[in-house]
Amino acid sequence: MFMEEAYNAAICFKMLRDLNGSDPVRLKYVIRKIKNIACGSPNLVLETIHDYFTDSPEISTRHKFRLFQVLETVIEASDFLEETWEKSFMKLALENMTKTTELEDVFQDAASNVLVAICKHSWRAAAQHLETEMLTGIFPHRSLLYVLGILSSREELFNEGEKACWEEQLAQIAAKSVQFLNTDVWSKELRWALTKPDQMQQEQPPEKAFLFYYYGLILQAAENSTTVRAHLQSLLETSHQWPKQREGMAVTMGLAAARHLDDVWAVLEQFGRSAPVRCSLHSFSPKGSEDFRWKWASSTILLAYGQMAAKAKAHILPWVDNILSRMIFYFHYSSWDDTLKQSFLTAVLLLVGAISRNEGAHSYEFSQAPELLDCLMILMEKESPDTLCTSVRQQTIHIISSLCKLRPLPNLEQKSRLLSVCFRSVFALPLLEVLEKHTCLFLEPPNIQALFDKTAEALDQLLQSFMVQTPTAVELHFLLSHMYIWLASEKAHERQRAVHSCMILLKFLSQNLHLDPKEEFKCIGQLVGTLGILCQDPDRATQHASLEGMGHLYQLLMRQKAGEASKAESGTPKQLRSSSDQKAAPTDIPEQAPQKDRVFQLGSSQVIKEVMKHLTVRELTDLVWTAIDGLGSPSPFRMQAAAEMLLATIQDHGAKLDTVAKLGQAIHLQLSSVRIPQAKENALQAITLLARSHTSELVAAFLDFSIPLDSHAFRLWRALGAEPPMSRLVLATLLAWLQERPLPKAAGDSSPQPKDKAYLPSLAAMNTLHELQFAREFKKAVQETYPELLLALLTQVHYILELDLPREPQPRPEVQEAAVPSPQSTSLEALKSLLSTTGHWHDFAHLELQSAWELFATLPTYPQGVGLLARAMVQNRCRQIKAVLTQLLPSLQSREERERKVAILILIEFLYSPVVLEVLPKQAALAVLARGLQDPSPEVRVWSLQGLGNVLFHPGKGSLLRGQLLPFLGGFFQDSEPVVVRVMGTVSDVLRRLGALGAGAQSLSVAVNARSFFDDERDGIRAAAMALFGDLVAAMEGRELGGLRAQVYQSMVPLLLHLKDHCPAVVTQAKFTFYRCAELLHWQLRHTLFCTLAWERGLSARHFLWTCLMTHSQEEFSVHLAQALSYLHSRHHHIKTWAALFIGYTICYHPQAVSQMVTSVDTNLLFCTFEDLKKDPEPGIREFAARQFSFLQKLAAQTGVLAPVSSPSSPCACRHSPAPPLRAWLHRIFP
């Protein structure tokens, strides 16, 4: 054992000697080896080092420096230091730490560090030596200050009790040093040491930091205020250029303030008013290096105020407002930069920390606290939104959190701004990767991740402190209301940060039980909706945080429900409870725990459904509003998630929602923004589900945006009636709104007035009914409610005329598509579409071909239009007559005159229908008409009287009317056109009044006479004759035609050719009569025929009409051709042209038959006609005429006359014919 120790000692000794070498690698190896030996045998190494110093008195300075470093390491690594070594090495350190060598301060610091290492084992002996050296009356050597600085700054050297003893001993040293303040030499050296430039100005050496501290302790202990003020003023007059210098001055000022608060305040006030400081404020512009001494003087003052507060402790409270006012002043008026910002934050942190540690702080009201909060918000707003390089945000939020606990508490407006500023400053920061790029050029770049985490944690603590101060659901809603905008951000990282803070807050409340479980939990629906949407976020972190937040929210809801149940069971009013009672309350409901734990294992949709089960109607409504707002988001995932949540909520809880009308209107507003088809379908499906329980509310709401009805509103209406029972209910509700028809106040009328534009709901209902007739969802319902709709729309037309609303101006062609239809045109179009979409197109055709819709445009002609519509229903044997009759009978006793008018007008026409007696027996009909004679309306009385004259009630009247027909026919040949027109009109009226009885044997005479005037030169007579013929044809429907059939066939070509008559009235009557004849003859494709007659123009229409005629009357071919040839002599160009086209078609398709009929005179006439038509303005007619002329020339050259030519469609055609090329051309034009 002895030999091993001797060997190790020798090795160690050799290594100590090797420390004198110059090889860096060898030196590192030697030092590491000595440390290893010291770990096992510290006393051996200490003894060897002691012996080495003793045996080698001529050690070089550098060698000794390395030995001191090794010695320091060994002593620090030792668990115990023998007293012998302690004294020996302490003496060695004290001897060398003040020596001047070529290594200067480095050597002295190495020796001093040995003394510091010894203090780890026994600081009291070292402190005694140091105190002796400090109180010699000579200004202490820097090494003494260095050791004292190290000992004061290293917390690990002392335990809690020893730290207090050490500070007490320093205070005693300082108190004993007060005497030196009056010594000029000592004071000058002190000032020189304090102001001496350091080698590294950004890092203050320990001895200088301690000197500021020591100086403050001395001034604190001084009794003479004048002395204290003089020294502080002298200190402040030194340079303020370097940060550590400013911090040191502030420490000195603060320590002095612990006992001389008034003096320090006075000195700072005086210094703040000095010329250099005033010049440095706000508009500072340095002109030389000397000016930089004062540039940051306000920073020193701020730090001094902070240190005053920190060191004065309990005495500071009365001074807080004064200090804050000065801090605020320097914040606003100093030249703003990072230095001032950091000094301001440091000072405020010190002040707030001092207040928070003071138990009496809550009894004070700090009037300057709101102003300070404003400064902090300005500071946050001035932070660069794109960088995070310092802890400024974190410090600021911590300060705000502490200030908000002091009186006066911030008001709602100030707290709202605080939250907005803090959220924007933290959540709106760029991604961490971007933040790191801003620090890539830093020599020592900060840890951005850690910095952001601490900043976010400070924000979370701020929110939690607000909840601790005001533990109510209202406060929670207030905090979250400022977070929703960030939870809905379009940037993923902002949503992620916001939802994480939200989750942390909910977790804090769930785990710490700050909320009273018996308090009503309001305004939680929006939070559920927001978190539910974020559960579908593409970002996984956001999904996870949202789901976890939903779980904590569920726990809060469970606690609330348990609290409500407890309150209900007790039957006692809610009482105020102590905090301990509140915390104990949830433990009384252990059965809830498994359910709470289970919720964290569920998926997002399941969690949302579980939470929704415990929401009130108001909260569910808030949830739906949140989902609707999400529909308008530009983010696709948010839009889709919102639509799914909306549908899920309404599926489970739609029946009990309130404010459904506003919800429906909001969905309409958002629908135009929904670009995802599935999301739009979900939103519309939600409307369908809502309609099951809230049809009337939704209909009323949708009417508000149905003038005009855009595509999105139309889809909503379709969704409203997507289910058959709902479509019928929607139509019934719309009919009810349609019948709300208030009129404006007439002049001199003193009756109560409806609201301004109170007619709009009725117009909206009309507009909607018009559009819904084309929706497949309402097709069956419209069919079923046809009678009610017909009467309602007819009445609506009258109502619109009564309103006398302005009609839309005639739009210019370029803007015609954008023109909004007037109520007049909409009401009429609704009536038209009802007929056309429900299969009643025959009735529609009758009015369209007569141009009878124009009669509905004015009140005087309105009854005639209603009568024609009812007459068309009778003539077409409409299957809805009985249903309409049943529906109109109650309307005859309606309070509204317009409804009675419509009903009586339809009734007097329906009396001509054979089915009327199935619904209304003759005596009942007489009673109804007799009651109409007592109606207040003169029009209704007149029409009732007309109805009583119907042949239904007077059987003998039919024979009398028939007997008058032949005398009337003689009147046709009067010279006066008006007389003839009136006579023909009278005959038409007689035929109509005969109704089902008909004209009998007189029909043929009427037909022959009427047809003879088709080509009369007088326009009015032509039109009247065609109208009479049409009425006769209508009267013969269902009867044996006999000889009348030939008259009908012979009328077809004249009627067809007069479609090109120059008189519009003749054209109208020709169309209608031609159509009536086709009906009588039961032609096929009558709907196409009607459309062609009503709206088609040009050659294709003419070709179709010719085809219909020739297809259905082949046996009358010769008659038709002869009639057409005769019209080639017409003086009217258009009729002559039409006849030529007719003959041309016939020649093309029936050449053999034509060649057998025409003469040379006819051929020459055809040549002349086609020659003239080659000059027609219409290109198609010119080309047709040219081809026909060429074709006729070829035939004439071959046969000398119009010889027979073959036709594939004619079995008797010749084999060789030039007709096929012409037919091919015709088929190309008329496919």
Contacts of 283 (CB under 8 A, 6+ apart): 335
Split at pLDDT 50, 70, 90, the class of 813 is very low
pLDDT attached to residue 762: 92
What would you report as the CA-atom Rg of the chain, rounded to the nearest whole angstrom? 54
Q: What is the dihedral of CA 191, 196, 200, 206, to 10 degrees?
A: -40
**Residue 141: pLDDT band by 50, 70, 90 thresholds?**
very high
Q: Which residue has the higher pLDDT, 808 or 40?
A: 40
User: What is the number of other CB atoms lying within 10 angstroms of the CB of residue 432?
Assistant: 15
**pLDDT-based confidence at 328, cuts 50/70/90?**
very high
Compute the average pLDDT of residues 743-760: 60
Please tell me the predicted confidence (pLDDT) of residue 361: 78
Burial class (CB in 10 A: 0-12, 13-18, 19+), 1097: exposed
Distance of alpha carbon 669 from alpha carbon 677, whole angstroms = 16
Q: Residue 734: CB partners within 8 Å, gap ≥ 6?
A: 699, 765, 768, 769, 772
Q: Reduced to 3 states, what is the DSSP secondary structure of residue 1192?
A: helix
The tokens for 535 are: 């559960």
Distance CA 69, CA 841 (A): 113
User: What number is the average pLDDT over the span 630-648?
Assistant: 94
Phi, psi of 1121 (to 5 degrees): -65, -40
Helix/strand/coil for 258: coil
Q: What is the DSSP string of 931-997?
A: HHTT-SSHHHHHHHHHHHTSTTT-TTHHHHHHHTHHHHHHGGG-S-HHHHHHHHHHHHHHHHHHGGG
| Side chain identity at residue 413, one-letter code | E
- The set of residues, in sequence order, having a beta carbon less than 8 Å from that of 1095 and lying 6+ positions away, is none
Joined together, the tokens standing for residue 125 give 């002996």
Cβ-contact 558, 515 below 8 angstroms: no
Contact of 216 with 248, CB cutoff 8 Å:
no
The letter for the amino acid at 1115 is E
Query: Which pLDDT does position 1201 carry in this prediction?
Result: 46
| Cβ–Cβ < 8 Å for 1039, 995 | no
Give one DSSP letter per residue of 500-547, joined into a string. HHHHHHHHHHHHH--S-TTS---S-HHHHHHHHHHTT-SSHHHHHHHH
Residue 904: CB partners within 8 Å, gap ≥ 6?
Answer: 892, 932, 940, 943, 944, 947
pLDDT exceeds cutoff 80 at 750: no
Q: Identify the band that residue 789 occupies on the pLDDT scale cut at 50, 70 and 90.
A: very high
Please give the angle made by the CA atoms of 1001, 1005 and 1011, to the nearest 5 degrees.
Answer: 140
Contact 1070, 1113 (CB under 8 A): no
Mean pLDDT of 458-486: 93
In whole angstroms, give the CA distance from residue 1150 to residue 1040: 32
Rounded distance between C-alpha atoms, residue 335 and residue 1171, angstroms? 101
DSSP per-residue codes, 35-72: HHHHHH-HHHHHHHHHHHHHH-TT--HHHHHHHHHHHH
Report residue 283's pLDDT band, with 50, 70 and 90 as the boundaries.
low
Q: Are 487 and 502 in contact (CB under 8 A)?
A: yes
SS3 at position 1083: coil
CA–CA dist 792, 888 (Å, integer): 10
Q: 205: which DSSP letter?
A: -
Mean pLDDT lowest among 131-140, 274-283, 652-661: 274-283
Is the per-residue pLDDT at 83 higher than 70? yes
What CA–CA distances, in Å, run from 434 to 121, 341, 401, 449?
50, 24, 29, 12
Contacts of 830 (CB under 8 A, 6+ apart): 766, 767, 769, 770, 773, 793, 796
What's the mean per-residue pLDDT of the chain? 85
Residue 13: burial class (beta carbons within 10 Å; 0-12, 13-18, 19+): middle
Q: Are 209 and 243 in contact (CB under 8 A)?
A: no
The band of 807, judged by pLDDT with boundaries at 50, 70 and 90, is confident
Question: What is the predicted pLDDT for the residue at 955?
Answer: 82
**Which tokens sit at 518?**
């018996």
Q: Considering the chain, what percentage of its residues have pLDDT values greater than 70?
A: 90
Q: How confident is the model at residue 754 (pLDDT cuts 50, 70, 90)?
A: very low
Q: Which helix (H) or strand (E) holds 246?
A: helix 243-257
Cβ atoms within 10 Å of 952's Cβ, excluding its own: 21
Other Cβ atoms closer than 10 A to 460: 20
For residue 425, the model assigns a pLDDT of: 96
Task: Compute the Cα dihedral for 900, 906, 912, 918 and give only its sign.
Answer: negative
Is 585's pLDDT higher than 60? no
Give the pLDDT confidence score for residue 1205 in this predicted structure: 34
Q: Which two tokens stand for residue 136?
A: 């010699």
Whether the link from the prior residue into 408 is cis, omega within 30° of 0, is: yes
Q: What pLDDT score does 342 carry?
A: 93
Q: What is the 3-state secondary structure (H, E, C) of 882-936?
A: HHHHHHHHHHCCCCCHHHHHHHHHHHHHHCCCCCHHHHCCHHHHHHHHHHHCCCC
Q: How confident is the model over 1087-1098, as a mean pLDDT? A: 88
Residues 509, 552 contacting (CB under 8 angstroms): yes
Output the CA–CA distances (angstroms, integers) from residue 449 to 423, 444, 1187, in the order listed.
18, 15, 90
- Interval 839-857: pLDDT, tens: 999 999 999 999 999 999 9
DSSP state of 361: G
- Of 876, 875, 922, 885, the residue nearest 907 (C-alpha): 885
Mean pLDDT computed over 71-80: 86
Q: Tell whether the model's pLDDT for residue 189 goes beyond 90.
A: yes
- Residue 1087, burial from CB neighbour count under 10 angstroms (0-12, 13-18, 19+): exposed
Cβ distance 349 to 306 under 8 Å? Answer: yes
Q: How far is 488 from 638, CA to CA, in rounded Å?
A: 8
- Cα–Cα nearest to 1166, from 1176, 1154, 1149, 1179: 1154
Q: Which amino acid is at 1191?
A: F
pLDDT higher than 80, residue 1172: no
pLDDT digits (tens, 9 = 90+) for 653-707: 999 998 899 999 999 999 999 999 999 999 999 999 999 999 999 999 999 999 8
Closest by CA to 660, choosing from 650, 651, 669, 672, is 650
User: Residues 902-932: pLDDT tens digits?
Assistant: 999 999 999 999 899 999 999 999 999 999 9
Phi-psi category of residue 574: left, alpha or beta, with phi > 0 → left and psi -120 to 50 → alpha? beta
Please give the Cα distance from 995 to 746 (Å, whole number): 42
Q: Encoding tokens for residue 540?
A: 């996984």
Helix ranges (H only) for 535-635 are 540-570, 579-584, 592-598, 604-612, 617-631
3-state secondary structure of 365: strand
Three-state SS for 286-313 is CCCHHHHHHHCHHHHHHHHHHHHHHHHH
Instruction: Write the pLDDT tens digit of every residue in 225-275.
Output: 999 999 999 999 998 888 999 999 999 999 999 999 999 999 999 999 998
* Structure confidence by residue, pLDDT tens digits, 345-379: 999 999 999 998 887 777 788 999 999 999 999 99
